[in-house]
Amino acid sequence: MQKLMKKFHKNEKGFTLVELMVVVVIIGVLVAIAIPIYGAVTDRAEEGACQANRRMIDGAKMMYQAADEEGAWPDDYIDGGMPSCPSGGTYSNDGGTDSGQTACSEHTDPY
């Protein structure tokens, strides 16, 4: 009888199916929480990068105008061409060549 009991005790290594399922459920819950948070963080980062691009464009425009250059919007203000919005939007000049801030087709918030 003791030989039979020892044989059963030797095979108790590893995890049970219930324990593995609990771990899978916990990982699933964590992923379900993390995905929306990741999306929100990515959106905020893209918006921040877009605002930085628009400030840079406006700064380059002001410096170009201070040098009394006659340039046309937007290519003459930035060497190498316009940067692109991380969200895929396009930049435009509000208020003409001499005034106004750069606007983005994707992000309407002013910086």
pLDDT digits (tens, 9 = 90+) for 44-95: 999 999 999 888 888 887 777 777 666 555 555 667 777 888 888 888 876 5
What are the domain boundaries of the chain? 27-104
What is the residue-averaged pLDDT of the chain? 79
Give the per-residue pLDDT at 10: 61
pTM: 0.61
What's the token pair of residue 11?
Answer: 């095979």
Q: Count H helices, E strands: the chain?
A: 2, 2
Count Cβ atoms within 10 A of the Cβ of residue 21 and give its class: 0-12 exposed, 13-18 middle, 19 or more buried. Answer: exposed
Report the relative pairing of strands 102-104 and 91-93 from DSSP bridges.
antiparallel
37 phi/psi in degrees, rounded to 5: -65, -40
